[in-house]
């Protein structure tokens, strides 16, 4: 059996851990530039605020019901996510982190009567140790576990855990589930299925998988098999090393000068390189990209790929290359609205190929980076940084209502009086 552990209203729940005054109130978390609602508390959902709703469209509801609007703080949520995952890792035989707020657990080998009590203990401990409420669905396949988790979330009687271990349970859940809510069935496909009369997950599960394959694809055939209880998606205990690291931002105001654009890109490089080092990896290539707003004026977008002679995680080396990239893609007269970097060709440090002609002194570079990371982790982000970067430059986002970095910056720790 598999379990899917899903954090409830994750971003909102993170905020509530440190601000209990937000409990039982309508709360939404906003995307970058405070544009759209990307997470909603149950109270906000009840007011009819839709996922992804643009803030300017829901101003009336926000004012009338005093909805708390919070600017998203992704590094904070990432940190809370790691805490949740580490509790799961400790309590279950094997875990596959699926997204920032979801993880699959492999529960094979656990006697059936133990499944529910185990998941209830997991749920209690995650809540107690991290403050985050989760819902858990248990089922024979990943697709069914996803469906079970949504039942666990929706119905109070389930008390946060739903075990789907019989045909009867499977039927009653799938009959009430829209085909579009099935894991892996996108909007297009769901329209097509509905047109064919397959409007519920149950009806889709009753189809002949081979027939579905002819009509659609092998991926959808797998979905049907999974709905029938035949596992098709393998469990990956440890996901592969990530293939790429992206660090990018939309700007609060359009950036028109080269210096500011460089400050932004250099800051992105620093973030990306720090991530590489924290994972013990190095990159051999970096892409720098920037674009104007697609909605205003003439659209301009450009990018450049730079391949390095040696894989590295040295912020200095990567920054130097990225700055050349910015020179290349910058265009006078363009108001840049977004820029970013992507590190690729990522490999583990241990795979490093020594280069006889390398000009980079690896030992020196490594101790400098270690010292920088140590300083920044103990004394606060960006305490020591490269002069080209400027984390508080003109390009910064408008995050008017962002909560403090409670868990990752000593200076912003919560003070209890
Ligand atoms: Mg969730």
pLDDT, tens digit, 9 for 90 and up, residues 277-311:
988 889 989 999 999 987 778 889 999 989 888 88
CA 173 to ligand 1 centroid distance, Å: 19
| 36/125 same-domain check | no
Which residues are in the CB-under-5-Å shell of ion ligand 1?
6-7, 10, 101
Last residue of a domain, one of 169, 198, 228: 228
Greater pLDDT, 189 or 266: 266
Cα–ligand 1 centroid distance for 148 (angstroms): 13
User: Which residues make Cβ contacts (< 8 Å) with residue 94, sequence separation at least 6?
Assistant: 105, 106, 235, 237
Count of all residues that appear for the chain in the document:
417
Task: Tokens for 344, please give them.
Answer: 């690729």
Domain range holding 218?
Answer: 94-228
pLDDT mean across residues, the chain: 89
- Asked whether residue 26 is assigned to any structural domain, the reply reads yes
CA distances from 306 to 106, 257, 290, 311, 326 (A): 41, 22, 15, 12, 11
Residue 313's CB: how many other CB atoms inside 10 A?
Answer: 25
Bigger pLDDT: 412 vs 50: 50
In a shared domain, residues 206 and 100: yes
Cα(149) to centroid(ligand 1), Å = 10
Number of domains in the chain: 3
Are residues 197 and 259 part of one domain? no
Task: Let me know whether 18 and 128 are in one domain.
Answer: no
Kindly tell me if the per-residue pLDDT of 269 is higher than 90: yes
107 in the same domain as 13: no
Q: Do the domain assignments include residue 406?
A: no
The pLDDT of residue 237 is 39
Chain centre distance of CA 91: 23
pLDDT of residue 161: 97
Same-domain check for residues 14 and 113: no
CATH code for the domain in which residue 114 is found: 1.10.150.20
Cα–Cα distance for residue pair 216/301, rounded to 1 Å: 35
**Same domain? 145 vs 208:** yes
292 CA distance to ligand 1 centroid (A)?
A: 33
Question: How confident is the model over 236-244, as a mean pLDDT?
Answer: 55
pLDDT in tens, 86-135: 999 999 878 888 888 999 999 988 999 999 999 999 999 999 999 999 99
Rounded distance from Cα 101 to ligand 1 centre (Å): 5
Model pTM greater than 0.75?
Answer: no
162 and 102, same domain (yes or no): yes
What was the pLDDT predicted at 5? Answer: 97
Ligand 1: centre distance to CA 172 (Å): 22
């Amino acid at each position: 059996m598999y379990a899917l552990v899903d954090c409830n209203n994750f971003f909102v729940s993170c905020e509530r851990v440190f601000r209990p005054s937000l409990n039982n109130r309508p709360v939404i978390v906003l995307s970058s530039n405070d544009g759209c609602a990307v997470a909603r508390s149950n109270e906000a959902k009840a007011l009819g605020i839709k996922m992804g709703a643009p803030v300017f469209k829901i101003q009336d509801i926000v004012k009338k019901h005093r909805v708390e609007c919070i600017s998203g703080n992704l590094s904070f949520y990432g940190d809370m996510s790691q805490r949740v995952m580490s509790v799961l890792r400790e309590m279950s035989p094997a875990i596959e982190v699926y997204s920032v707020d979801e993880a699959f657990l492999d529960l094979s080998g656990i006697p059936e009567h133990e499944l529910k009590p185990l998941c209830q203990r997991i749920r209690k401990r995650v809540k107690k140790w991290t403050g985050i409420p989760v819902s858990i669905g248990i089922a024979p396949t990943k697709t069914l576990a996803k469906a079970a988790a949504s039942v666990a979330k929706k119905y109070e009687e389930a008390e946060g855990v739903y075990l789907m271990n019989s045909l009867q349970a499977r039927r009653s859940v799938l009959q009430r589930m829209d085909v579009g809510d099935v894991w892996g069935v996108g909007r297009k496909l769901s329209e097509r299925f509905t047109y064919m009369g397959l409007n519920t997950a149950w009806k889709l599960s009753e189809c002949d998988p081979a027939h579905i394959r002819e009509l659609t694809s092998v991926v959808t055939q797998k979905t049907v098999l999974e709905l029938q209880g035949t596992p098709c998606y393998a469990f990956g205990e440890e996901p592969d090393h990530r293939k790429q690291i992206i660090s990018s931002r939309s700007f609060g105001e359009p950036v028109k000068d080269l210096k500011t654009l460089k400050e932004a890109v250099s800051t992105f490089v620093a973030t990306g390189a720090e991530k590489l080092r924290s994972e013990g990896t190095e990159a051999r290539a970096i892409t720098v990209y920037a674009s104007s707003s697609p909605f205003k004026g003439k659209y301009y977008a450009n990018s450049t790929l730079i391949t390095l002679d040696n894989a590295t995680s040295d912020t200095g080396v990567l920054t130097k290359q990225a700055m050349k990239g910015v020179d290349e893609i910058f265009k006078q007269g363009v108001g840049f609205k977004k820029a970013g970097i992507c590190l690729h060709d990522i490999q583990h440090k241990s795979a490093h190929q020594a280069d006889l002609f390398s000009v980079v002194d690896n030992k020196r570079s490594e101790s400098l980076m270690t010292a920088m990371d140590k300083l920044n982790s103990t004394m606060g982000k960006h305490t020591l940084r490269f002069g080209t970067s400027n984390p508080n430059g003109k390009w910064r986002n408008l995050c008017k209502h962002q909560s403090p970095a409670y868990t990752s910056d000593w200076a912003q720790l919560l003070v209890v009086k």
